[in-house]
Chains A and B, each alone.
Chain A
C-alpha cells in the first residue's frame, strides 16, 4: 500500500462565468520515505496539487488515498484532523505567527491535537533542537533571520510527527546560502526516514530530491527517478 495514492485528480476554479482548470487529472503513488520534487513553470498547478495533497482543499474530481483512507470526500473537520496528524507544512513565506515566540509557534499543532501543556513544551523543545535552534526558543520571528524562521517552520511541521512533510517553494524567500542550508536540513530529515514533498520551480532545488514529478498545464508531464 502506498503512503499516498492519487488517481486522476482534478481541480477547477469557477471565476465568474469562466472555469479555470488548474489541475486536469493527475495520477501518482508516493511511498513512505520518498523525497519527491514537484516541478513546473509558474501557474502550472503545483500549489493546487500541493493544497490537495495537504488536505487543505478537496479535488473537483478524482480520488486521493492517504495511508489507505479515502480523503477526497471528507468534511472540513475530518480534514483538519488529517492535516493535524498526517501533514507538516512548510511555506515559502514561513507563515509564523509574528507576535509569539518560536517555541509557541512550534507548539501550535500540538495545541490543536489537545496535548497537555507540559508535554507540548517538551515536544516543541525537542523539535527546535532537531533544527539546531535550541538557543532561539524564546525569540520572536522578527528577531530571527529568514533561515532561522524557516527552520522554526520546519520544526513546527515536524513536531506532530506527521507522515509527510510538504514544502511549497521553501527556499523561495531565502538567499542561496541559506537555501542550501535548508535543503541540507531536508536531506538529513529524509535520511532519518521522513517522507518529503517539495514544490519548486528551481532545478537546483529539485535535484536534491530522488524523484521529480513535472507538471505542465495541470497535467503530469513526466515522473522520473533521479540518482
Chain B
C-alpha cells in the first residue's frame, strides 16, 4: 500500500517534471522515437510479409509438386539450367497419362499482357494457360460461371476465366459471363470468374486471366516452356511421389541412365527455406538498427537525467530532509526516465501508424496489439535502464550536501 502511494506520487512528479521540461524531454526521447519507430515498422513489415507469404504458399499448395526447367531457391549452376530444353506440351501430356490417381496433373504457362473490354483496359495482367485440372491443383474457386472444360482445352477454344479483381475492373456494373474480351488483342469469351484469393508476394493472382494452355500456344507462344504441377492428394507421400515423378519425367524427356536430370522437381519447402532466411536477414538488420537507435536514445536519456538530477540536487535534499528514503528518490527518477521514454514510444507508434497504412498497398501490414505492447514495454525498459545510473546517483546524495547546493 505504501509502495503504491509512492509509485503514484512518483508518477505524478514525473509527469509534472516532463510537463515543465517539454523541449528537453522531447529531445531526450528522439532516439527512442526513432528506435521504436523503425522496430515497429520492421516488425509490422515482417508479419505482413509472413502473411502474404502464407497466402502465396497456400496458393502453391503444401502437397503440390512442380516440375519445371528451373529450380526454386539457390543451388544449381545457372548456365547449366539455362541450357536445359523447355518442357513441351507433348511431354506434359505424356507425363499426365502416366500419373495415377489420386494425384492430379496440371500443366500451365504464364505471360503478361493486356485485357480489354469495350473501352476498359487492364494492363499488367497475368495471363495463365491452364488445363481443366488446374482448378483443382491450384485450389481455384469459381465465383460465377465455371472453369475451363477438358473439351475446351483439347479443342483450343478461345475462352477465359477472369480473376476476381480483373473481373471487377472490366465489368464493374454487369456480369462478364458470355462477354468477349480481348487478351493481347485476341478475342476470348468469358466463361467464369474466380473468388478473391488475397495478397501475395510474387504477384496479384486476383489480376489474372486464365485461358486454355493449348490456345495460348496457338495464339501466342509457339514453343512454350511449361510448368507441370502435380497435386499428390496426400501431403505425407510428397517425397515418394516426387521421386516417382522424377523417373517418369526422365523417361518422357528421354534421358539416358547416368545422365543428369535436365529439369527440376520443386515443392514449397524450398520456398519456405528461402523465406525463413530472408526474414532472418531482415529481422537481424532490423534488430541491430533498433538496438543502435535505442542505445543512442538511451544515452540521450541518461544525459538528460543526469542534468535533471544536477539541477534538482536541492530538491532531492529537501525531499530527503522530509523523510524520503533512497528507494523513493531512486524510483522518482526511474519513473521520470520511464515516462519520458514511454511517451517517446507512444509518439513512435503514432508516427508508424500512417506509414503502415501506406505499406498496406503492398502488404497486409497492420500494427498488431502485441507489437504495440512490445514497443511500449521496450520503450519503458530503455528508460528504466538508461535512467538507472542518474537515479542511483540522486538516491545516494548526502542530504546535507544536497541541501547546501545552489
CB distance from B100 to the nearest CB of A (A): 80
Given A51-B400, A99-B16, A109:B323 Cβ within 8 A: yes
Given A56-B321, A114-B6, A97:B315 Cβ within 8 A: yes
CA distance A99 to B314 in the complex (A): 14
Decide if B399 touches A56 in the complex (CB within 8 Å).
yes
Decide if A80 touches B324 in the complex (CB within 8 Å).
yes
Say yes or no for A222: interface residue by CB 8 A criterion.
no
CB distance from A155 to the nearest CB of B (A): 12
CA distance A85 to B323 in the complex (A): 8
Decide if B400 touches A57 in the complex (CB within 8 Å).
yes
Decide if B322 touches A81 in the complex (CB within 8 Å).
no
Interface residues on A, range: 20 to 34
Given A56-B399, A116-B5, A109:B322 Cβ within 8 A: yes
Say yes or no for A186: interface residue by CB 8 A criterion.
no
Decide if B323 touches A83 in the complex (CB within 8 Å).
yes
Residues of chain A within 8 A (CB-CB) of B20 are: 99
Say yes or no for A111: interface residue by CB 8 A criterion.
yes
Residues of chain A within 8 A (CB-CB) of B321 are: 54, 56, 83, 89, 95
CA distance A112 to B331 in the complex (A): 13
Interface residues as binary, A169-182 with B (CB distance below 8 Å gives 1, 0 otherwise): 00000000000000
Which of A57, A97, A117 is the most central at the interface, judged by chain B CB atoms within 10 Å of its CB?
A97
Say yes or no for A208: interface residue by CB 8 A criterion.
no
Interface residues as binary, B395-406 with A (CB distance below 8 Å gives 1, 0 otherwise): 000111001000
Residues of chain B within 8 A (CB-CB) of A99 are: 16, 20
Residues of chain A within 8 A (CB-CB) of B238 are: none
Residues of chain B within 8 A (CB-CB) of A116 are: 5
Interface residues as binary, A98-110 with B (CB distance below 8 Å gives 1, 0 otherwise): 0110000000110
Which of A77, A80, A109 is the most central at the interface, judged by chain B CB atoms within 10 Å of its CB?
A80
Closest to A52 in B: B400
Checking B1, B319, B326, B403 against A108 with a beta-carbon cut-off of 8 angstroms, the contacting residue is B319
Decide if A83 touches B5 in the complex (CB within 8 Å).
no
Which of A54, A77, A85, A111 is the most central at the interface, judged by chain B CB atoms within 10 Å of its CB?
A111
Closest to B321 in A: A89
CB distance from B394 to the nearest CB of A (A): 14
Say yes or no for B328: interface residue by CB 8 A criterion.
yes
Say yes or no for A91: interface residue by CB 8 A criterion.
yes
Which of A81, A85, A108, A115 is the most central at the interface, judged by chain B CB atoms within 10 Å of its CB?
A108
Q: Which of B298-319 contact A (CB under 8 A)?
A: 314-315, 317-319
Say yes or no for A113: interface residue by CB 8 A criterion.
yes
Residues of chain B within 8 A (CB-CB) of A81 are: 323, 325
Checking B5, B327, B398, B400 against A114 with a beta-carbon cut-off of 8 angstroms, the contacting residue is B5
CA distance A109 to B321 in the complex (A): 9
Given A56-B403, A114-B6, A89:B326 Cβ within 8 A: no
Say yes or no for B320: interface residue by CB 8 A criterion.
yes
Say yes or no for B219: interface residue by CB 8 A criterion.
no
Say yes or no for A149: interface residue by CB 8 A criterion.
no
Decide if A84 touches B314 in the complex (CB within 8 Å).
no
Decide if B1 touches A83 in the complex (CB within 8 Å).
no
CA distance A108 to B328 in the complex (A): 12
Say yes or no for B120: interface residue by CB 8 A criterion.
no
Given A95-B318, A97-B315, A112:B400 Cβ within 8 A: no
Decide if A80 touches B323 in the complex (CB within 8 Å).
yes
Decide if B403 touches A91 in the complex (CB within 8 Å).
yes
Say yes or no for A70: interface residue by CB 8 A criterion.
no
Say yes or no for A151: interface residue by CB 8 A criterion.
no
Closest to A86 in B: B323
Residues of chain A within 8 A (CB-CB) of B317 are: 95
Say yes or no for B80: interface residue by CB 8 A criterion.
no
A–B complex contacts, Cβ < 8 Å, 14 sampled: A56-B399, A56-B403, A57-B398, A80-B324, A83-B320, A83-B321, A89-B322, A95-B317, A95-B321, A99-B16, A108-B322, A112-B323, A112-B325, A117-B5
In addition to A84-B323, A95-B314, 13 A-B residue pairs with Cβ atoms within 8 Å of each other are A56-B320, A57-B399, A76-B326, A77-B325, A77-B327, A80-B324, A97-B315, A99-B20, A109-B323, A112-B319, A112-B323, A112-B324, A116-B5
- 6 closest A-B pairs by beta carbon, nearest first, are A84-B323, A114-B2, A112-B323, A80-B325, A109-B322, A95-B318
